[in-house]
Amino acid sequence: MLIYDHAKQPPGGHVFIDPSSHVIESPTLAGLIDAIKLYRRNNGFPAGRPEAEVEIAYTKSHPWLVSKIGEKPTIPLPDPLNRWVHSLWRKPPKNLRDDLAAEKRMKVCRECPYFSDELNLTSDDKRRLVILSAGRFIEDGGYCTKFNYACGMAVLTDPMPQDPPDFCWVLNGA
């Protein structure tokens, strides 16, 4: 059985080579299955069983995305902050802001009504944020309760990895 919401995704996205030798790509596993179905329908090929075919191919190339027979697939991470950290880990920010800009943003975050000092991250997630931030993750940076991100990392990212709120420093250009 394919695991659609696994925290670790293949680098560069999902790829499947159809029996017709056509290469089909998608950033998500669900999108890959849909793209295979669409390709076959548009080209008059038999529908087949795309999920089963991808599962067979992924058993060798991406075994973490295939659960063993009889095992229940992993459940998506329940904590939204944890999901945010894992999404950053899968697609890390390419650029980080300088310390002065990060300090300005952090000041705005601390005055925000959605700011919370309680940042409950696992040690593994803290380690990931320190690595992603090149050692600059602000541990006492708090948590945005509305948009579920660690402010200590968000102030460093450029651009912001989520849609910005109306009151946020992202729209104010800070």
Give residue 135's region: left, alpha or beta (phi > 0; psi -120 to 50). left
Shared-domain flag, residues 102 and 135:
yes
| pLDDT tens per residue across span 95-134 | 888 888 888 888 888 888 888 888 888 888 888 888 888 8
Shared-domain flag, residues 108 and 133:
yes
- Domain-terminating residue out of 76, 108, 125: 76
| pLDDT tens per residue across span 9-52 | 888 889 999 999 999 999 888 899 999 999 999 999 998 899 98
Shared-domain flag, residues 84 and 50:
no
Q: What is the mean pLDDT of the chain?
A: 80
Q: What is residue 159's predicted lDDT score, i.e. its pLDDT?
A: 60
Shared-domain flag, residues 44 and 103:
no
* pTM of the full structure: 0.50
- Domain-terminating residue out of 13, 47, 76: 76
Instruction: Give me the domain span that covers residue 54.
Output: 1-76
Shared-domain flag, residues 111 and 156:
yes
Shared-domain flag, residues 166 and 86:
yes
Shared-domain flag, residues 70 and 88:
no
What's the total number of domains in the chain? 2
Shared-domain flag, residues 51 and 84:
no
- Domain-terminating residue out of 76, 91, 115: 76
Cα separation, 36 vs 25, whole angstroms: 9
**Sign of torsion over alpha carbons 108, 110, 115, 119:** positive
